[in-house]
Amino acid sequence: MVLSRVKAIKSPPEDVPEGYLAAMGRNERTIEQTMEVLPKGTRRLAAQLRTSATFDALWTILTTYDQLSNFIPNLSSSKLLSRQANRVELRQVGSQVFLGFTFTAEVLLELFEEKDKGLLKFNLIEGDFRRFEGSWLITPSQNKCDTSLVYELTVQGALGMPVGLIENRLRQDLANNLLAVERAALGTA
């Protein structure tokens, strides 16, 4: 197992709107990331952002499932299919251009909401990956000055999909997703 720890994003990711960081009172953002290389082309990634957005604002943004594709980069569509208590079924389609080609992937996810823990856990029911599971975790700081937003993802590409080739892109996408959720929660999307 290879574990790399990246404390990165010292400049805005590619899709941060001009003026966003100044409006946040910051010249730069730091997102802490880890990545583990697991057997059979599987990667486990995690990214964390500290934000001034409130728990409630972040929770609302993350659980407004039909609107996620309006602000999360490379998410073409997100549709709530069913809800039973804290269990949600969600269909999402993502697409992006990589090495001059457009790649599209579709997943049907089962998601469990645990608001009292600030936790949204998801796993793959079916889709274009062999494995796609993870969570969003929202944790207010003890002094209530800021909130931690963590996104974890374990992904294993379909046969013939070399995840190792796109792992740097996966890291950047995680950072961009965190910043997109933050912008939406702060009303700056």
Confidence category of residue 18, pLDDT binned at 50, 70, 90: very low
Assigned token pair, 139: 């944790």
> What local confidence, expressed as pLDDT, does residue 188 receive?
67
State which residues form the domain around 57.
2-186
Tell if the pTM clears 0.85, that is, is over it: no
Between CA 79 and CA 16 the distance in angstroms is 25
Looking at the structure of the chain, the number of domains it has is 1
Q: Are 121 and 135 in contact (CB under 8 A)?
A: yes
Nearest to 79 by CA among 57, 59, 119, 108: 108
E strand spans, the chain:
2-8, 31-38, 42-51, 75-84, 87-98, 101-114, 119-127, 129-140, 147-157
The CATH number of the domain holding residue 73 is: 3.30.530.20
Of 13-17, 31-35, 121-125, 176-180, the least confident:
13-17
> What local confidence, expressed as pLDDT, does residue 96 receive?
81
Chain segment 60-98, per-residue pLDDT in tens: 999 999 999 999 998 999 999 999 999 999 999 998 877
Length of the chain: 189
Chain segment 133-157, per-residue pLDDT in tens: 999 999 998 887 899 999 999 999 8
What is the number of H-type helices and E-type strands within the chain?
Answer: 3, 9
